[in-house]
């Protein structure tokens, strides 16, 4: 019970930190700013986080973990490589867009992380690329994809999707569901997936 309240406070701090770091940048935001937004004072934050950079790491890492989990979950699931890639992109896009601010902060403020936190996250990203490459490789082996360089194509796909954090505006022309679907279609077309291989929608 007290644990839950502690966790809730922690969550609220992170929430407000994400908002401000996103709008003003990491160094452009002071801990006093965050505290003020929460209606508390700076020492309050220090009872939950050891330092400003720990706060940064705490809002970056879980989001990268989610990205990895999305792709990994789909890759290890059932269905043809085409179906699994489709699902992987839809899920991954959803993570990127629903945690847009966290993603933006991570890529912008990477240099402010400690070496340990950075290494940690880089390991996750490496695994992300590996899982995606592997999935593409399976599709090639199954004769569903036409890809000459699976590693490069993984990077291209990852970039295409990740990049959405720079231009997506919630409430824009396309909703989250449509966007994910279109991104998946673009991806499948890029890897030369055949329609016959089992995509459900046209």
Q: Find which of a second copy, DNA, none residue 194 binds, CB within 5 to 8 Å per kind.
A: none
Q: Find which of a second copy, DNA, none residue 174 binds, CB within 5 to 8 Å per kind.
A: a second copy
User: Which of 86, 80, 84 lies closest to 144, judged by CA?
Assistant: 80
From candidates 41, 114, 122, 127, binder to DNA by CB under 7 A:
41
From candidates 31, 75, 135, 193, binder to DNA by CB under 7 A:
31
Helix (H) or strand (E) holding 57: helix 52-76
From candidates 30, 122, 142, 163, binder to a second copy by CB under 8 A:
163
Number of H helices, E strands in the chain: 10, 0
Sign of the dihedral defined by the CA atoms of residues 89, 163, 129, 144, in that order = positive
Q: Find which of DNA, a second copy, none residue 31 binds, CB within 5 to 8 Å per kind.
A: DNA
Q: Find which of DNA, a second copy, none residue 30 binds, CB within 5 to 8 Å per kind.
A: DNA
From candidates 11, 27, 123, 186, binder to DNA by CB under 7 A:
27
User: End-to-end distance of the chain based on CA atoms, in angstroms?
Assistant: 50
The reply to whether 67 sits near a second copy by the rule CB under 8 A is no
- For residue 106, what are its two tokens? 């991570």
- Maximum Cα interatomic distance, the chain, rounded to a whole number of Å: 60
């Amino acid at each position: 019970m007290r644990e839950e309240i502690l966790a809730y406070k922690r969550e609220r701090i992170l929430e407000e930190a994400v908002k401000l770091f996103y709008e003003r940048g990491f160094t452009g935001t002071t801990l006093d700013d965050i505290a003020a937004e929460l209606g508390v004072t700076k020492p309050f934050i220090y009872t939950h986080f050891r330092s400003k950079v720990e706060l940064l790491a705490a809002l970056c890492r879980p989001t990268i973990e989610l990205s990895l989990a999305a792709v990994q979950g789909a890759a290890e699931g059932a269905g043809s490589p085409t179906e699994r890639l489709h699902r992987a992109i839809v899920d991954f896009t959803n993570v990127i867009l629903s945690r847009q601010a966290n993603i933006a902060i991570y890529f912008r403020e990477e240099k402010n992380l400690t070496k340990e936190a950075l290494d940690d996250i880089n390991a996750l990203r490496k695994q992300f690329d590996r899982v995606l490459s592997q999935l593409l490789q399976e599709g090639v082996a199954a004769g569903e994809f036409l890809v000459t360089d699976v590693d490069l194509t993984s990077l291209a796909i990852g970039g295409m999707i990740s990049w959405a954090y720079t231009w997506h505006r919630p409430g824009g022309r396309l909703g989250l569901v449509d966007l994910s679907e279109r991104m998946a279609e673009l991806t499948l077309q890029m890897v030369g997936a055949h329609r016959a291989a089992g995509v459900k929608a046209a």
